[in-house]
A and B are shown apart, each in its own frame.
Chain A
Amino acid sequence: MMSDAQKRAIRVDLQMIAEMIEPGSRLLDVGCGDGALLDYLIHEKQVDGRGIEISSEGVNACVSAGLSVIQGDADQDLDDYPDQAFDFVVLGQTLQATREPHNVLSNLVRIGKHAVVSFPNFGYWRVRMGLLLGGRMPQTKTLTYNWYDTPNIHFCTIKDFVALCCDLSIQIERGFALDDRGRARPIGETGMRFANLRGEQAVFLLRQS
């Protein structure tokens, strides 16, 4: 049997997200999957947490585990929520699978006082090399799908993401690039190029400006 702590061991990017969440806050996890992060935050950070998940298996697993999760998707269902309903809205590794990432981002910072977004960085050097040298659509640890069966339809690089936030007047409070060993480095103005190369994935804390 696993201990509670082991059961709640979460992915490195989720750990990064969790660190940005204030204890006891009201939180919505969009694309919460099997509820690992939500469960972790509820028990470790005492958040009042809710989730949205697109797959019925995910939803049923979450609700069966006592989590408040609804079946829905980021493109359609975020419109329903009122402004600033949550302290934090989390979108973990889901942005690239949405139909309209710009609308989703706008909704995140509208619904939440803060939004935490993580995504695979398409500017990561292995991705670039895969395409440049291999001539095939890249597959990495975080991008495991084939081009034909991937749910990921809107890839972006860290640079692209920052530019979009700028266009949408979304304020970046903090940003981190995670390398392939899960080490996080803050993304500064000057370190952008480096982060965009070294970061396998990125985690951003955002809010409406």
Chain B
Amino acid sequence: MIHSYGAYFTQSLPIFAIFVKNSPDLTHAQTEIEPVMNDQTSGQNGVEATQTVTDRDAGKRVTLGQDEPLRLDCGVELSDFTIAYESYGELNANKNNAILVCHALSGDQFVSGINPITGKPGWWELVIGPGKIIDTERFFVICPNILGGCMGTTGPKEINPETGQPWGLDFPMITVSDMVRAQALLLDHLGIDQLFSAIGGSMGGMQVLEWAAAYPKRVFSAIPIATAPHHSAQNIAFHEVGRQAIMADPDWRGGDYLNQDCRPHRGLAIARMIAHITYLSEPALQNKFGRRLQDRDAISFGFDADFQVESYLRHQGSTFVDRFDANSYLYITRAMDYFDIAERHGSGVLAEGFRDVGTRFCVISFTSDWLYQTAESRAIVKALNAVAANVSFAEIESDKGHDAFLLEEPEFWKVLSGFIEGAAERYGLNSQ
């Protein structure tokens, strides 16, 4: 099996007391909303006290943009928005051991330990945790749910304060730059001027590139993995099929499904099935499933899931809809399609986007990743070389496709660990 087949459950909502308090350590007067259980945990605040949780209440929250609104690329101003995030480890006295983890399209803020919503390991549990490659006993790891997401950060499924209804399609269009600017506000809030590192795969890698281009002084090292400087026509094409599947579902209701008490599960499941194929590779699918039949000895001469691969994809689709919001999927895929770092930061020339960037880069790609191919990573490396930036680049031999960065890949881990060690040495973290 490639993935465990467990379902993601949204647990029934216990009664929560939400209180707002002024955080004493803020440079800007922001308010922090902390979820507090009303049972068993009286007197305890924050995530440590959280036991049974839903996506609305797990992890940490902060409300930003109250003093100065976040001006989105589309022109809309978000004056009051929530970033849901999770952090691991402790920020040191020098506040220089922070690593920002940027999640991918369907990811969330729960990178390590047990995801409090699903009860399953965090999505990068293999890499991040105590004693692991990104050692949370040494680094302060922050992972925010992206703007437009559906795990607690302001997005289309959250309530529009002006209407009291879920945003739906009234939610403004967001870009990867918007996500990163929102994350920068979160770092301001946490009192972190400079990240030791920003790391992420796929769309997470896009955010990492955007971080380096937009805030070069705030990122000592950047690790964009299995990503691209812009979305290719093929990437956009796959996303468009996914979006059309969602919008063709009658239960999508023009994006207003939350108000009409239904969910476009079929459309979202199909979008996920299509996307999931692009995350794997032909050899990976062949090795795992071949033409093997699912719970039967012969083909059924019907449209049941005769083949294991069909059953697997159906499972991937059906479990996804329990944890992901369809409109969020539309917004985030659009943000990825719009991503073009050369256009945004270099007047069309990628290298110009990275001029005078002092960040140390480690670009990593995988041989069998046909969604974000090595050529895309090479284009990034070429541009960085053109401005004599400090860059490492490794292409990792793997048959696991785009998802390789999430899976067990010892060679990848070795490179990652070596780069982080080398960067930490130069950052003076080792001598502290």
Q: Are B394 and A60 in contact (CB under 8 A)?
A: yes
A163 within 8 A of B: no
Q: Are B388 and A63 in contact (CB under 8 A)?
A: no
Which residues on the A side are within 8 Å of B418 (C-beta)?
Answer: 63-66
State which residues 31-79 of A face B: CB under 8 Å: 48, 50, 56, 59-60, 62-72, 77
Q: Are A56 and B422 in contact (CB under 8 A)?
A: no
Q: Are A81 and B395 in contact (CB under 8 A)?
A: no
Stretch of B60-68, B211-219, B378-386 lying at the A interface: B378-386
B234 within 8 A of A: no
Q: Are B391 and A70 in contact (CB under 8 A)?
A: yes
Q: Are B423 and A66 in contact (CB under 8 A)?
A: yes
B77 within 8 A of A: no
Q: Are A60 and B393 in contact (CB under 8 A)?
A: no
Q: Are B414 and A66 in contact (CB under 8 A)?
A: no
For the complex, what is the distance from the CA of A69 to the CA of B418, rounded to whole Å?
12
Q: Are A59 and B385 in contact (CB under 8 A)?
A: no
Which residues on the B side are within 8 Å of A59 (C-beta)?
Answer: 393-395
Q: Are A81 and B393 in contact (CB under 8 A)?
A: no
- Chain B 150-181: CB-based contact to A (< 8 A → 1; otherwise 0): 00000000000000000000000000000000
Q: Are A56 and B394 in contact (CB under 8 A)?
A: yes
Which residues on the B side are within 8 Å of A56 (C-beta)?
Answer: 394-395, 397
**Which of B385, B392, B395, B414 is A67 in contact with, Cβ under 8 Å?**
B392
B90 within 8 A of A: no
The smallest C-beta distance from B133 to any residue of chain A, in angstroms, reads: 11
Q: Are B388 and A68 in contact (CB under 8 A)?
A: no
The smallest C-beta distance from A145 to any residue of chain B, in angstroms, reads: 24
The smallest C-beta distance from B360 to any residue of chain A, in angstroms, reads: 7
Most B C-beta atoms less than 10 A away, residue of A77, A80, A86: A80
**Which of A64, A66, A70, A85 is B393 in contact with, Cβ under 8 Å?**
A70
Extra contacts, 14 of them, besides A56-B395, A66-B421, A70-B385 (Cβ < 8 A), are: A60-B414, A63-B362, A63-B392, A63-B394, A64-B418, A66-B418, A68-B391, A68-B392, A69-B393, A70-B363, A80-B385, A80-B386, A82-B386, A82-B388
B390 within 8 A of A: yes
For the complex, what is the distance from the CA of A48 to the CA of B388, rounded to whole Å?
12
B373 within 8 A of A: no
The smallest C-beta distance from B79 to any residue of chain A, in angstroms, reads: 42
Count class of interface residues, chain B = 20 to 34
Which B residues form the contact surface with A (CB < 8 A)?
360, 362-363, 381-382, 385-388, 390-397, 411, 414-415, 417-419, 421-423, 425
Which residues on the A side are within 8 Å of B385 (C-beta)?
Answer: 70, 77, 80-81
Which residues on the B side are within 8 Å of A64 (C-beta)?
Answer: 414-415, 417-419
Q: Are A60 and B392 in contact (CB under 8 A)?
A: no
**Which of B360, B382, B411 is A60 in contact with, Cβ under 8 Å?**
B411
Given contacts A56-B397, A71-B395, contact A66 B425 (CB under 8 A): yes
**Which of A48, A62, A80 is B382 in contact with, Cβ under 8 Å?**
A80
The smallest C-beta distance from A119 to any residue of chain B, in angstroms, reads: 24
For the complex, what is the distance from the CA of A98 to the CA of B411, rounded to whole Å?
28
Which residues on the A side are within 8 Å of B391 (C-beta)?
Answer: 50, 68, 70
Q: Are B387 and A82 in contact (CB under 8 A)?
A: yes
Which residues on the B side are within 8 Å of A50 (C-beta)?
Answer: 390-391
For the complex, what is the distance from the CA of A150 to the CA of B415, rounded to whole Å?
29
Sample 29 A-B pairs with CB under 8 A, ordered by A number: A50-B391, A56-B394, A59-B393, A59-B394, A60-B394, A60-B396, A63-B415, A63-B418, A64-B415, A64-B417, A64-B419, A65-B418, A66-B418, A66-B425, A68-B360, A68-B391, A69-B393, A70-B363, A70-B381, A70-B385, A71-B393, A72-B381, A72-B393, A77-B382, A80-B385, A80-B386, A81-B386, A82-B388, A85-B388
**Which of A48, A70, A81, A82 is B392 in contact with, Cβ under 8 Å?**
A70
Which residues on the A side are within 8 Å of B362 (C-beta)?
Answer: 63
Which residues on the A side are within 8 Å of B395 (C-beta)?
Answer: 56, 59, 71
Q: Are B419 and A66 in contact (CB under 8 A)?
A: yes
The smallest C-beta distance from B417 to any residue of chain A, in angstroms, reads: 7
For the complex, what is the distance from the CA of A69 to the CA of B391, rounded to whole Å?
7
Which residues on the B side are within 8 Å of A85 (C-beta)?
Answer: 388
For the complex, what is the distance from the CA of A62 to the CA of B393, rounded to whole Å?
10
Looking across the interface, which residue of chain B has its beta carbon closest to that of A67? B422
Given contacts A63-B415, A63-B419, A64-B414, contact A69 B382 (CB under 8 A): no
Looking across the interface, which residue of chain B has its beta carbon closest to that of A56? B395
Looking across the interface, which residue of chain B has its beta carbon closest to that of A28? B388
Most A C-beta atoms less than 10 A away, residue of B387, B392, B418: B392
The smallest C-beta distance from A48 to any residue of chain B, in angstroms, reads: 8
